Amino acid sequence: MLSVTDPGPNRPCPRAFNLAAHVLTSAGAPRDKIALSVLGAKGAENWTYGGLQDAVRGTATGLRRAGFEPGDILLMRLGNTVDFPIAYLGAIAAGVVPVPTSAQLTAPEVAGMIDQIAPAGILRASGISCPDTALPKIDSAALRAMRDLPPAPWQMGDPDRLAYVVFTSGTTGRPRAVAHAHRAIWARRMMIDGWYGMGASDRILHAGAFNWTFTLGTGLMDPWTCGATALIPAEGTSPADLPALLRQHQATLLAAVPGVYRKMLSAGAPLALPHLRHGLAAGDRLSDDLRDAWQAATGTQIHEAFGMSECSTFLSASPDRPADRGCTGAAQPGRHLALVDPGDPARGPVPIGEEGIIAIHRSDPGLMLGYLGDDAATADRFAGDWFLSGDLAQMQPDGQIRYCGRSGDMMNAGGYRVSPLEVETALATIEGLAEIGVTEVFPRDANGQIRRDVTIIVAFYTGPRPLEQAWLERTAATLVARYKQPRAWVHVPDLPRNPNGKLQRRALPALWEALNAS
């Protein structure tokens, strides 16, 4: 038997389609039902389905009146507020292409993105880094005023047309612009039963920020597609605050990266969560130990999912099919998934039990259109009909998938996939630093024991003399987003290289262990 799934028949996406219209109207939720509650220390800011639809369609009107046409690209530099999803869906409703970006990015990082995507304008909130540019800008006040404008009609069209762009860390030293079609939201229907186990009566709390694509999809758009209620903690909420919010607002589902679950368990706060049915985790590897500890503390399970910027999540555990120990889960119903030969992906799926590269068939409706403006990079990710994730796994006889790690050098930083080359390219400009190599390593706790449940990014560098760590940290903060910044800096005489002089990043973790062995 080969490591490949049979997706069975899938209902095709309607030929006249709009992602935002699907999100906000497909469930037929009553206009007065609460769609979103922003949870603060003094109460909740509530949005009904009707109010949300009016705000989104009014924003669409405002963007069109501002001169933006269907197909125009709009860079989003907004903060962690409800402005973010309303502007995002408002742009898509009007046929404009939003590009959500992390508020943590620095001005130089954003400048590189602008060069790639050539946006027609920028949505910018005060205090969010952005380079000086002559591009038209719309501030938060102007965006909010648009909500009261007459509602625009949904811009319907071919589901394969461009809907939005997200950036993913690139192996060439710069982030790549991942172009997605309107049909991407149609594909996420396979996650409803294949991961969430979610329905209209659910109240799902997502522990991430509004301006994170994980929150945007799992915490907002998917619940609204189901007619459920999304709960988002206000900015400044800590993991220690979450148990009380979960109880107070009767959350039935919780979505977060594994690190948030870990912090909730270590905070010492009571974890009696009477309304919670189960948790959802993605963005980083969920260990069996963490899953067991959560179940012991709460009586509920955590169901993990695996995905990526290019195809969201496509394999997962679920309430109907919990993961076996050591496994992430199985291919979601309707997903055509394979584990292909790592040595020669063109040979196709490997036998059951053998290690292979996780690959998704090019026919998957959630798969990206490609890397914007980079056909060569797009082609490089395919072997025949299979899109290669770059991650290794084994398929068990029952279809469960055991994740084995990344086949390349990609790092994971708080749920973000980060290319070491991108970080090295940015930090190589630091004065006094000759060469640099970065990697992710297992840190040690206060007792000197290696922690296998979390990783940090470490930079190894050469130069005439060691540089002050505090100065390095301050300088790095001006060059790359917080989640990309090294948490430790190590001055070494030389970086490990192969006979051809190429940096051997895979030797860096061993160097870290050797330096910290004592």
Instruction: State mean pLDDT over 498-513.
Output: 77
Are the beta carbons of 212 and 233 closer than 8 angstroms?
A: no
Helix pair 288-298, 258-266: axis angle to 10 deg: 50
CA 427 to chain centre: 24
65: which residues sit within 8 A by CB, 6+ positions away? 149
User: Topology of 411-516 in CATH?
Assistant: GMP Synthetase; Chain A, domain 3 (3.30.300)
Q: Please, are residues 505 and 437 in contact by the beta-carbon 8 Å criterion?
A: yes
For the CA atoms of 198, 201, 206, 209, the dihedral, rounded to the nearest 10 degrees, stands at: 120
Q: Partners of 49 in the beta sheet?
A: none
Query: Is the distance from CB of 390 to CB of 408 less than 8 angstroms?
Result: yes
Candidate from 17-26, 124-133, 233-242, 263-272 with smallest mean pLDDT = 263-272
pLDDT of 500 strictly over 60: no
Residue 171: the pLDDT is 58
Q: What is the distance between the alpha carbons of residues 220 and 190, in angstroms, rounded to a whole number?
A: 16
Spatial separation of the C-alpha atoms in residues 284 and 260, rounded to whole Å: 11
Asked whether 274 and 300 are in contact (CB, 8 A), the reply is no
pLDDT of 147 higher than 70: yes
Hey, what are 389's tokens? Answer: 């994730």
Are 182 and 176 a contacting pair, CB within 8 Å?
no
pLDDT in tens, 96-111: 999 999 998 999 999 9
Instruction: Name the residue among 435, 400, 439 with its Cα closest to residue 418.
Output: 439
Given pLDDT bands bounded at 50, 70 and 90, which one contains residue 435? Answer: confident
| Cα–Cα dist 31/55, whole Å | 13
pLDDT at 498: 66
- Rounded to 5 degrees, φ, ψ at 149 are -75, 160
pLDDT for position 497: 77
Tokens for 225? 């597609």
| Radius of gyration of the CA atoms of the chain, in A | 23
Alpha-carbon torsion angle 112, 113, 114, 117, nearest 10: 130
Choose the weakest-confidence range: 166-170, 374-378, 477-481, 488-492: 166-170
- Note the pTM of the prediction, 2 decimals: 0.85
Q: What is the maximal distance between C-alpha atoms in the chain?
A: 68
Q: What is d(CA 454, CA 342) in angstroms, rounded to the nearest whole number? A: 26
Residue 516, pLDDT score: 79
Residue 447 CB contacts under 8 Å (≥ 6 apart), including other chains: none
CA angle 84, 235, 132 (to 5 degrees): 50
**Structure-token match 């998917």, residue found:** 222
User: Which of the residue ranges 218-222, 273-277, 445-449, 452-456 would you say has the lowest mean pLDDT?
Assistant: 445-449
Q: What is the pLDDT of residues 349-371, one digit of tens each?
A: 999 999 999 999 999 999 999 99
Beta bridge partners of 41: none
Rounded to 5°, the CA angle 326-440-469 comes to 150
> What pLDDT, on a 0 to 100 scale, did the predictor assign at position 166?
97
Count of C-beta atoms within a 10 Å radius of residue 398: 10
CA distance 111 to 389: 27
